[in-house]
Amino acid sequence: MLPEIRNMLKRSRLALLTTYIALWLGVALAAQAGEPEAYAVEFQVTLEPARLGASVTITVDRGELLKHINFQNRNASISEIKATGSLREKDGRVFWDLPSGRSTLSYFVRIPHERSPGKYDAIINGDWAIFRGDDIVPAMQTGEAKGEYSVSTLAFVLPEGWSSVQTGWPRVQDNTFRIDNPERLFDRPTGWMIAGKIGTRNTVRSGTSITVAAPMGQNYQRMDALVFLRFVWREIDKAFVTTPERLLVVGAADPMWRGGLSASNSLFLHADRPLVSENGTSSLVHELTHMVTRISGVETATSNDDWIAEGIAEFYSFELLYRAHGISKSRRSRIIRDLARWGADVEHLRQGRSSGAITARAVVLLDQLDQEIRQRSKDKYSIDDVTRQLMTLRKVSLADLREATEKLIGDKIDTLDSPLLR
């Protein structure tokens, strides 16, 4: 073995050993202090193209800290379920009561999922697989003792000939990733993932590690996307301030669904989607805004504020290009006029999911709100300040939008008194 390869392997093993030593020391110190303790969770995913799915094993080292787990399996996509301890299924849910000490749960999950006829948002074939963490590890309700929390890793076993796997999580060693979500006690792998015979391009901007990955042999312009992100990232960072440590952009051609979909640390964009459309908006920046802000609209029995999330994402899809000097002021004005014509027949924004016309009209209203904020604050504030406040809430309503704006410029906001919002 060459000396440089031997030294690289030693460093990798040392990094993994350091992680486990830190975990052991943390558990020991927490126990002495009487504070919440950590338990280790290992997710192992063996991808099986011939079976169109994956075998998943979840191993927990301390069942006395994580007492039980349950998750939904109504469509029976999960099969071959086995576990140490007590396991039962009822009304489409799986219930697992863990014994003390080390325990495991294993199952097989089918990966392909049609979002529309013939178009998939999760797929596995002989050469590659694209899916989200939720496709292989469903959302789980857990019962911890005294608020104890997990320290989780995700490891992949790849078919012979597959080169690598990419996720939005930091890589610990080879095909093992560290899963850390400070908002949850139970860290579960989520976000877009791609594995197989894939090509990747990487860069770092303002502290964010960016990876663009797609299957080999497909017409996905990885370098184009990477250069585009480098070009616009400074404006993303300035507008939202809080940006992720990692970003994975996954792309592929048919039979994947022809659109863009975001997750908490990653996004998918079909190979046929242009970086900038002829109307001046960018699907990539639209989905990136969803990913960074993580804003979604509150839905009630009488109203739906999805227009806020979609309107913000579409507004920034061209606004950030304008700020980066990628489009001119006159073209920006033309984009607003075109969106106004598209949404001209919309009478109410707070209805159902935000369709194209509703989103277009929402963008025009948000642009007017931006102008009012800038005028009344004498350019001290802008729509960016409102967006950053909404980012702390995540799930937002018209009342939240109004309150965030009033904090900046006071009450009686003309734009938000529109008949569109009544």
**Is residue 186, in this structure, part of any structural domain at all?**
yes
**CATH, residue 191:** 2.60.40.3650
Q: Identify whether the C-beta of residue 315 lies closer than 8 Å to the C-beta of residue 412.
A: no
Name the β-bridge partners of 56. 45, 107
Res 382 pLDDT > 50: yes
Please indicate, yes or no, whether residues 73 and 120 belong to a single structural domain of this protein.
Answer: yes
Number of domains in the chain: 3
Host domain of residue 180: 37-197
**Is residue 266, in this structure, part of any structural domain at all?**
no
Q: Are strands 395-396 and 296-297 parallel, antiparallel or unpaired?
A: parallel
Q: Identify whether the C-beta of residue 292 lies closer than 8 Å to the C-beta of residue 243.
A: yes
What is d(CA 318, CA 344) in angstroms, rounded to the nearest whole number? Answer: 20
Please indicate, yes or no, whether residues 71 and 17 belong to a single structural domain of this protein.
Answer: no
**Is residue 91, in this structure, part of any structural domain at all?**
yes
This prediction's pTM: 0.88
pLDDT digits (tens, 9 = 90+) for 199-246: 999 999 999 999 999 999 988 999 999 999 999 999 999 999 999 999
Please indicate, yes or no, whether residues 280 and 354 belong to a single structural domain of this protein.
Answer: yes
What is d(CA 236, CA 6) in angstroms, rounded to the nearest whole number? Answer: 41
User: Which one of 160, 179, 197 terminates a domain?
Assistant: 197
Please indicate, yes or no, whether residues 6 and 74 belong to a single structural domain of this protein.
Answer: no
What is d(CA 364, CA 276) in angstroms, rounded to the nearest whole number? Answer: 19
Please indicate, yes or no, whether residues 284 and 369 belong to a single structural domain of this protein.
Answer: yes
pLDDT digits (tens, 9 = 90+) for 297-321: 999 878 899 999 999 999 999 999 9
What is d(CA 281, CA 396) in angstroms, rounded to the nearest whole number? Answer: 24
Please indicate, yes or no, whether residues 185 and 279 belong to a single structural domain of this protein.
Answer: no
pLDDT digits (tens, 9 = 90+) for 324-345: 999 999 999 999 999 999 999 9
pLDDT digits (tens, 9 = 90+) for 27-82: 444 445 567 789 999 999 999 999 999 999 999 999 999 999 999 998 888 999 99
Please indicate, yes or no, whether residues 69 and 90 belong to a single structural domain of this protein.
Answer: yes
What is d(CA 205, CA 211) in angstroms, rounded to the nearest whole number? Answer: 11
Please indicate, yes or no, whether residues 5 and 92 belong to a single structural domain of this protein.
Answer: no
When the pLDDT of each residue in the chain is averaged and rounded to a whole number, the result is 91
Backbone angles phi, psi at 131, to 5 degrees: -165, 175
Please indicate, yes or no, whether residues 155 and 54 belong to a single structural domain of this protein.
Answer: yes
Query: Which of 361-374 are b and which e, b meaning 16 or more Cβ less than 10 Å from the residue's Cβ?
Result: bbbbbbbebbebbe
**Is residue 366, in this structure, part of any structural domain at all?**
yes
